[in-house]
Amino acid sequence: MTVQELSGVYEELSLLYRISEIFSTLSIDEICFRIVDEAISTIGVRTAAVLFLDEQAENLYTMAYKGEWDSKRQFARDNGIIWNSIQAKKPSAFCRIKETEYSDYIPGISSLMVCPIWGKKKAVGAIVVADKELNEEFFSNDSKLIMAISTQAGLAIENASLYSELEALLLGSIRCLVKALEATSHWTVGHTERVTEYSLEIGKLMGLETEKLDKLKICSLLHDIGKIATPKEILNKDSNLNESEWLEIDRHPIVGAEILEELKQFKDVILGIKYHHEHWDGHGTFGLMSNEIPLMARILSVADTFDALTSDRPYSLKHSKEDAVKEIVRCSGSQFDPVVVEAFLKWANP
Amino acid sequence: MKKVIVIDDEPFILMMIEDKLKKAKIGVITLRESRNAFQVIKRERPDLVILDWMMPELSGIDLCRMIKGDSELSDIPIFMLTAKGQDSDEQLGLQCGVSRYITKPFSPKSLLEMVQETIGNE
């Protein structure tokens, strides 16, 4: 083995060591940017781009790039080098592309290497690198290195898209439940989406991390799901409710928690729902006080009340935004957590 | 011509670094043992020393302390090579005046870039 070969093997080894960390994210955009950076620094090229196949596998479009590249660049199916490389499942290099039939293939580029990105079963797209820094030709070691990147990238992209499909499926199912709920009562149409919006704004202003905000979103979307068990006549009554009807309505947080009990991963979401009508001073249904009440429930409580005050309800008149804000402030420290109210005010009076 | 001394008990690491630096027109002296390295450094006054952490007899960190403790040599920058995943060692290395801490396996190409960044490109 020559020193140069040795050096190449060692370069590849170090790349493989780095790569597991590089692609440990679940964001597809982020993975694509990292592929570009890694390709540029490892192969030593001036230009790199990641292309994805569209859903019909008819077009390759640009996902990320650096260097001499047009962000809107697309390649239709059966168009030369890149598609051939995907079909062949291996990299191909063109050192003097100007002297070949592909001279106009990508304007402004004189040498080019393409490497397909494959998932477990289907093609994802391709990595294109062009023009080495020292104007060298592409070596066989370069194709090995780019293969190492694309193999790992393919798996990482596949994982990330499975994850986002699952996430979409989850949110989709939750929205179906919400629709089922809202179909039972004309008073509450749109309430869930608005409460979700307000909760998330408050949560963001309180500096919650993404993971907590995701849970708060689910919690807000499902907070009234227990009303699915409340008799329709009560939900749709156009006049004031009597005491037994109120008792029936008051059961919805606990019923909601019971309905969702099977979702073991949602323990804190369920607690948020169960306690969203608790009062900061301990005068709610379960008598929990201050920090005993889960944070999600405390946020939800403010968002829920604000929307109830500013919407038409059979049992109360609609308030103006200003009056509703005043009412929330009045109940800060008794019904509501003052810290949540503070964040709410930042949102309501920016 | 700039001059770098590389000390590592693994011969292929020495070959590889030597090849990479020489191609970039940087002078290289390689040593497989740390025992006499201090004398060589004192005699040659290199622009940079690249040291392996784990070497028999005299470890890279001890050699680093000797260089940094010598008033004539203490300005010479030192790169420390070591096996991956010894986080606590990195702190120690940096405390001892190591300017770059590089985990093996490293990319020979980025090592060259770091060398050029540190000693310049004459």
CATH number at residue B30: 3.40.50.2300
Residues of chain A with C-beta less than 8 angstroms from the C-beta of B110: 41
Stretches in chain A below the pLDDT threshold 50: none
Tell me if B118 is assigned to some domain: no
CB A45 within 8 A of CB A68: no
**What is the pLDDT at residue B95?**
77
The residue length of chain B stands at: 122
- Check if B12 contacts A (Cβ < 8 Å): yes
Q: How far apart are CA A339 and CA B7, in angstroms?
A: 60
**What is the pLDDT at residue A239?**
76
pLDDT, tens only, B14-43: 999 999 999 999 999 999 998 899 999 999
- Check if B57 contacts A (Cβ < 8 Å): no
Q: Per the CB < 8 Å rule, is B109 touching A11?
A: yes
- Check if A20 contacts B (Cβ < 8 Å): no
Tell me if B51 is assigned to some domain: yes
| Distances A109 to A6, A69, A96, A135 between C-alpha atoms, Å | 30, 9, 9, 11
Tell me the sheet residues that pair with B78: B49
Tell me the sheet residues that pair with A75: A60
**What is the pLDDT at residue B40?**
95
pTM above threshold 0.80: no
Q: How far apart are CA B13 and CA B8, in angstroms?
A: 7
- Check if B43 contacts A (Cβ < 8 Å): no
DSSP letter assigned to residue A207 = T
Backbone angles phi, psi at A266, to 5 degrees: -105, 25
Q: How far apart are CA B101 and CA A112, in angstroms?
A: 34
Task: Determine the residue of chain B that is closest to A16 in CA distance.
Answer: B105
Q: How far apart are CA A102 and CA A114, in angstroms?
A: 13
CB A132 within 8 A of CB A45: yes
Tell me if B121 is assigned to some domain: no
Q: Is A240 helix (H, G, I), strand (E, B) or coil?
A: coil
Task: Determine the residue of chain A that is closest to B106 in CA distance.
Answer: A14
- Check if B3 contacts A (Cβ < 8 Å): no
| Distances A108 to A85, A101, A131, A316 between C-alpha atoms, Å | 21, 15, 10, 69
Q: Per the CB < 8 Å rule, is B16 touching A44?
A: no
- Check if A22 contacts B (Cβ < 8 Å): no
CB A113 within 8 A of CB A99: no
Q: How far apart are CA A111 and CA B32, in angstroms?
A: 41
The type of residue at A209 is E
Q: Give CA A223 to chain center in angstroms.
A: 21
Domain with B62, as residue range(s), is 3-113
Q: How far apart are CA A109 and CA A121, in angstroms?
A: 32
Domains of chain A in start order, with CATH, are: 3-161 (3.30.450.40), 184-348 (1.10.3210.10)
Tell me if B119 is assigned to some domain: no
DSSP H helices, A23-49, are 28-39
Q: How far apart are CA A295 and CA A102, in angstroms?
A: 61
Task: Determine the residue of chain B that is closest to A15 in CA distance.
Answer: B107
Task: Determine the residue of chain A that is closest to B19 in CA distance.
Answer: A3
Tell me if B120 is assigned to some domain: no
pLDDT, tens only, B57-92: 888 888 999 999 999 999 999 999 887 555 556 677
**What is the pLDDT at residue A314?**
67
Residues of chain B with C-beta less than 8 angstroms from the C-beta of A17: 84, 105
Residues of chain B with C-beta less than 8 angstroms from the C-beta of A15: 107
Tell me if B24 is assigned to some domain: yes
Domain count across chain B = 1
Q: Per the CB < 8 Å rule, is A11 touching B15?
A: no
| Distances A298 to A8, A116, A268, A284, A349 between C-alpha atoms, Å | 58, 50, 13, 12, 20
Structure tokens at A333: 């420290």
C-alpha torsion B110→B112→B115→B119, nearest 10: -130
**What is the pLDDT at residue A51?**
94
**Residue A238: HSE in the Cβ half-sphere, 13 Å Cα cutoff:** 1
Element (H, E) at A157: helix A140-182
DSSP H helices, A223-337, are 232-235, 243-250, 252-260, 267-274, 295-310, 321-330
CB A224 within 8 A of CB A256: yes
**What is the pLDDT at residue A315?**
64
Tell me if B106 is assigned to some domain: yes
**What is the pLDDT at residue A106?**
81
**Residue A54: HSE in the Cβ half-sphere, 13 Å Cα cutoff:** 10
Tell me if B122 is assigned to some domain: no
ipTM: 0.76
**What is the pLDDT at residue B2?**
94
Neighbours of A143 (CB within 10 A): 18
Q: Give CA A206 to chain center in angstroms.
A: 20
Q: Using CB atoms, which residue from B16, B109, B110 is nearest to A6?
A: B16
Residues of chain B with C-beta less than 8 angstroms from the C-beta of A4: 19
DSSP letter assigned to residue A110 = S
